[in-house]
């Protein structure tokens, strides 16, 4: 007869993404948006540093792409359980937390290497990656919270790693990224 028809609870829970919880957990559509913001901010900085750009992508990949998404899957167990009935929540959550810590370790390395002030971004980024998926505090798991955690902060951190002086450009870029993320979130919610 085939697979039972389940209601679509996420726009990316289709096709290959639906076959494996570990693959779905990477949430590629949302992750590509994050990588796009990091790339935009890196190219807007007065100087481009490939090493810093790659380290920023690596920290984001561990902390937000793997870490926050895997924690989110386990925090929303009832939402995803019909799709992944055999999911090992404990293993997924453990990998998520370890990935956030790995992302923070990359950030600490960047702070030691480039600027100790970058630790502010590492701590806030770790806070967002760990707490956004479990919706505590509640304001963090809203559209503005999403814009802050997945738009403004990564853009600001990425720009900062290329240029330790924060200029007016970063504020415009961050505002643009938050606006675009909110727009995309609204459009996705419509479908």
Structure confidence at residue 53 (pLDDT): 93
Q: How many CB atoms lie within 10 A of CB 21?
A: 21
Tell me how far CA of residue 62 lies from CA of 65, 89, 96, 102, 136, in angstroms.
6, 18, 8, 6, 21
Q: What is the pTM of this model?
A: 0.80
Q: How many CB atoms lie within 10 A of CB 157?
A: 22
Residue 37 zone, left/alpha/beta (φ > 0; ψ -120 to 50; rest): alpha
Structure confidence at residue 4 (pLDDT): 63
Q: How many CB atoms lie within 10 A of CB 163?
A: 18
Domains in the chain: ranges and CATH: 21-186 (1.10.357.140)
Give, for all 191 residues of the chain, the pLDDT tens digit: 556 666 667 777 877 777 888 998 888 888 888 899 899 888 887 888 899 999 999 999 999 999 999 999 998 867 888 888 888 999 999 999 999 999 999 999 999 998 888 899 999 999 999 998 888 888 888 888 888 888 888 888 888 887 765 544 555 676 677 777 777 777 777 66
Structure confidence at residue 110 (pLDDT): 95
């Amino acid at each position: 007869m085939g697979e039972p028809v389940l209601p679509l609870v996420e726009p990316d829970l289709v096709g290959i993404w639906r076959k494996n919880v570990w693959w779905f957990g990477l949430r590629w559509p949302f992750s590509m948006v994050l990588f796009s913001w990091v790339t935009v901010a890196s190219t807007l900085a007065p100087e481009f540093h490939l090493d810093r750009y790659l380290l920023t992508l690596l920290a984001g990949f561990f902390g937000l792409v793997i870490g926050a998404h895997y924690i989110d899957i386990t925090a929303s167990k009832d939402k995803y359980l019909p799709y992944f009935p055999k999911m090992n929540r404990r293993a997924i959550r453990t990998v998520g937390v370890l990935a956030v810590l790995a992302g923070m370790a990359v950030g600490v390395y960047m702070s030691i290497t480039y600027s100790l002030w970058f630790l502010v971004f590492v701590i806030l980024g770790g806070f967002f990656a760990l707490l956004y998926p479990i919706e505590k505090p509640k304001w963090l798991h809203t559209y503005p919270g999403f814009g802050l955690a997945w738009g403004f902060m990564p853009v600001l951190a990425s720009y900062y790693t290329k240029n330790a002086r924060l200029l007016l450009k970063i504020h415009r870029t961050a505002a643009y990224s938050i606006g675009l993320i909110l727009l995309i979130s609204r459009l996705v919610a419509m479908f």
